[in-house]
Amino acid sequence: MRNIVITTLILLSTSSLFAENQRTFNTALKVSTLGVGFDISTPINDKISARFNLNGASYTDTQEDGDNEYEGTLELLTAGILVDYYPFENNFRLSTGAYYNGNGFTGSIYPTNKTLISINENEYTTADIVSLDSKITFDTVAPYFGIGWGNDANDKGWGFTFDLGAMYHGVGKANLTANVLNMNLENQIASDLVLEEENVNEELKKFKFYPVVSLGVNYTF
């Protein structure tokens, strides 16, 4: 009988210890300036949680300015590994980490017979080029810092999550190409494209940080 009691106490103690140490996970669905997102986080201790975040979206728009047609596509794709620190006895958190950054922009300008297209302040007609194409990329690895609310995997049940921060994606790099028709102007156009790229890259230096604002719902299980 004594052995049965001891064995039972050991089993209850082990079961209680396992229940206390059982890992919990928090999942979240979000809409943000990074696109539609998904979070999964788990606590490291009472104050710190590890979080994986995945976001993506694609947006294409076509507009006409005068007789020129502009077409652009914004591609958003990020995957981050973050650490959330909860300094108080609530869901407020400080977040830091890094993202794989696949965000970028591609666009084209199509002139018509009625208009001229300017490259490095030199004007060309549709007899010279068919289109001017652009591609803008940023650093592949982007550090992140922000504040937020929610995603605390220590509190089970439903909740909401909010993020406000910035991702440092570095200085964007522009790549300009032209679909040239007039081969006599090919070298001149190539030279103008190099100088135009430098002008665009100079402007992109003003936008080293990408703002991150997100809102969503989460559930801890």
Phi, psi of 25 (to 5 degrees): -135, 145
CA separation (Å) from 183 to 9, 105, 179, 180? 89, 28, 10, 7
pLDDT tens readout for residues 124-152 = 888 888 888 999 999 999 999 999 998 77
Burial of 28 (0-12, 13-18, 19+ CB in 10 A): buried
Q: Which one is predicted more confidently, 212 or 8?
A: 212
Chain mean pLDDT for the chain:
85
Q: Which one is predicted more confidently, 145 or 155?
A: 145
Instruction: For residues 84 and 87, give the distance between their C-alpha atoms in angstroms, rounded to a whole number.
Output: 10
pLDDT of residue 9: 41
Query: What is the mean predicted confidence (pLDDT) over 1-24?
Result: 47
pLDDT of residue 62: 84
Domains in the chain: ranges and CATH: 2-220 (2.40.160.170)
Query: What is the mean predicted confidence (pLDDT) over 42-66?
Result: 89
Instruction: For residues 217 and 122, give the distance between their C-alpha atoms in angstroms, rounded to a whole number.
Output: 52
Task: Give this prediction's pTM.
Answer: 0.78
The number of beta carbons lying within 10 Å of the beta carbon of residue 217 is: 13
Q: Which one is predicted more confidently, 129 or 99?
A: 99
Q: 125 - beta bridge partners?
A: none
Query: What is the mean predicted confidence (pLDDT) over 97-110?
Result: 93
Query: What is the mean predicted confidence (pLDDT) over 57-71?
Result: 80
Nearest one of 146, 173, 151, 147 to 161, comparing CA atoms: 151
Strand 209-220, strand 157-168: pairing: antiparallel
pLDDT tens readout for residues 169-197 = 999 999 999 888 888 888 998 999 999 99
Q: Which one is predicted more confidently, 33 or 19?
A: 33
